[in-house]
Amino acid sequence: MRKGQNPAKFVKDVAKPERITVALLNYIPFLSGFYAETLDVLKVSLESMRKDAGLPFDLMIFDNGSCPEVRDFLVKEKEEGRIQYLILSEKNMGKGGAWNVMLAGAPGEIIAYTDADVLFSPSWLSRSVEILETFPNVGMVTARPFRTSPELYTSTQEWARKNATLDEDQFIPWETFLEFNLSLGQTEEENVKVYAETSDWRIQYKGLTALAGASHWQFTAYKSTLQQFLPFDMDKPMGQVRQLDKRMNDAGLLRLMVSDPLAMNMSNTLGYLRGELKKEERRKKVGVGKRILELPPIKKMLLAVYNKIFSWYYS
């Protein structure tokens, strides 16, 4: 028998979710070997995500059966108000299984999905949403330009040829191209030939610039669009996630990237971040005079003078 009235009946207002849900998928089964630094990587990713994203968002994390230390950290973050929605899976459901829960259950109108090893730069979210809301029929927007498989953005090219300004060239600088591919375990030597033999497709539309392509490791999309592709039936925990990329292209949706790097793959260590810090330390040690000499117009002029003097003496 019920005693009294449920106090919830007298609550007049309920909290409304933010328009955007950032959905992060995490899996750290233990903290040794390959996964020794992955909890630190996750912490850095979360900190960078929250720092000047450019738009407000709620954070949803789906933990795919991580070890107790990681789950304890996530629960503490939730209790302290830094995670709005936390799902702790007893077992690893694979990426497809996790997507079925996350992409269907996220309360926001817009979902910004990310793997747990992404380092974000300021305005990563606002820049992604700007492209999502300006271009028509967008499937997904990734917050970094990198070279993706051309067969996965043929629909984007076809639309751009008819409705926007489309140009082909090496719009991604070599340093930006190499930085990302090195994070995947590739070597600089093997990328020299790839960079020289491939190109980028730049799309200009209504005052915005985007590059053709996107990827499943980080993307922003409308929830209503993503639901068209659910559920994902993947029989392996990894390796089949390009299904989303292919399905979107086959459906005629645009797959786009921002024009400058606002997201970076850290992989399973903080090696990239340590390298960036060392590079910054080296830069600070360089004198003001040296930095002035490295300015492109001055460097170009001085090298031209040098070449002229060299030719006077030795030609």
Instruction: Going from the first residue of the chain to its last (315 residues), give the mean pLDDT of each consecutive group of 10, the final group possibly shorter.
Output: 67 82 97 95 97 97 97 98 97 91 96 97 98 98 96 97 97 93 87 93 98 96 95 66 88 97 91 64 50 58 58 48
The token pair that represents 183 in the structure block: 């994070």
Write down the pTM of the prediction.
0.83
Q: So what's the pLDDT on residue 233? A: 75
CATH class of the domain at 20-265: alpha beta
What is d(CA 264, CA 244) in angstroms, rounded to the nearest whole number? Answer: 20
Plot region of 96 (φ>0 → left; ψ -120 to 50 → alpha; else → beta) = alpha
* pLDDT for res 282: 44
What's the rounded Cα separation, in Å, for the pair 49 and 169? 31
From the list 156, 173, 174, 170, the residue with the least C-alpha distance to 200 is 170
Distance CA 137, CA 31 (A): 42
Cα-only R_g, the chain: 23
pLDDT for 59: 98
Instruction: Record the tokens describing residue 179, joined without a space.
Output: 């930085």
Q: How far apart are CA 63 and CA 41, in angstroms?
A: 15
| β-pair partners for 59 | 22
Q: What is the pLDDT of residue 236?
A: 59
pLDDT of residue 12: 64
Count of alpha carbons within 13 angstroms of residue 168, beta-carbon side: 6
Q: Which of 297, 42, 275, 278 is nearest to 178 (CA)?
A: 275
287 phi and psi angles, rounded to 5 deg: -65, 165
The pLDDT of residue 313 is 45
